[in-house]
Amino acid sequence: MNQSHTMKNYIRFLFCFLAINAFAQPSSNFNTSRNWSLHKKEVFFGIGGTNFTGDLGGRDKIGTDFSLVDLDWPATFAGFNIGYRYRWHPFWATSTELYSGMVQGSDENTNEIIRRSRNLHFRSPIVQLTQRIEWILLANEKIGRRYNIPGLKGFKNQMQQVYLFTGAAVTYFNPQAEINGTWTNLRPLKTEGQGLPGGADEYSRITAVIPFGIGVKIGISDMWRIGLEVSYNKTFTDYIDDVSTNYFDPVVLQSQVGSDAVFAANPSKENQTWFVPGEQRGDPDEKDAFYIANIVFTRNLTYKPPKKQNWRRPQSRTKF
């Protein structure tokens, strides 16, 4: 075979290859380095549960505070999130997220004698705005079909991801307790003498938070993914549950604030001699935290699914 014939065959092969690739490209982006760019912009929303770890509630022994083994499962409360995600690299993305939920805790949920006798409880709404960075550990992303021809099998969509995330957040909280059948804001009651002579410092209802989490997502269509995210949120306050330092003088509370403050500060139902002014009410050395677990739905804003093409066999006509 001479060189001229070989060159012609090579040119024909190259032309056919380019033609097929050009035909397939509008509806296919498989297994290439550009697949991640088809997911640059996404919106997401989710629903799940929130669980608090702090001075209230917990399991049946002291010494397991602020850890997974101390989770008070009956105190899990619902929450939801919504956000926007931008991916600028195959392995990196950033998300802006707004989360709203409720955390709660009660000494009635434990059999540990000191906590149970203390008999404190609370609930608090949580509204958190987070800017986080995500490290994508694993991504398998293939979108579309290689050819849109009936009877010709193409690749199936693959949109799996596993990622870690952290960031910075600002969180609003407002602890409440049930007094005479009414949920009452605790901060104005100064339960530990906040702002009063000899009492604790007043606290803000806004705190910084650092989230640490892991997520996994799988594709359910060209445009949608479903996943699960779990995060641990470390706060910089010890007053989400309105409990931190020592018991305050009830006489001063009665005169300065009122009877609701006296009850909220010390509703102990037994062993009352353990809970007198100056005795420990909470642990100021450990800041509060909470866990969030959400089922998340993600909608792709970047990828445009191809229009369906109708494939028809060419009709031949016999000429006479």
The predicted-structure confidence for 14-23, as pLDDT tens digits, reads as follows 445 444 443 4
* pLDDT score recorded for residue 308: 57
Confidence of residue 139 (pLDDT cuts 50, 70, 90): confident
What pTM was estimated for this model as a whole? Answer: 0.79
Query: Of residues 56 and 33, which shows the higher confidence score?
Result: 56
Mean pLDDT lowest among 34-43, 168-177, 221-230, 303-312: 303-312
- Residue found under tokens 């089922």: 295
Q: Is the pLDDT of residue 220 over 50?
A: yes
Instruction: Answer whether residue 166 shows pLDDT above 90.
Output: yes
pLDDT at 197: 93
Q: What are the chain's domains?
A: 31-300 (2.40.160.20)
| CA distances (Å), origin 65, targets 37, 44, 85 | 43, 33, 34
Check whether 254 has a pLDDT greater than 90: yes
User: Which pLDDT value is given to residue 7?
Assistant: 47
Q: What's the average model confidence in pLDDT over 145-164?
A: 64
The answer on pLDDT for 260 being more than 90 is yes
- Give the pLDDT score at 302: 87
The predicted structure's pLDDT at residue 110: 82
Q: Work out the average pLDDT over 62-90.
A: 80
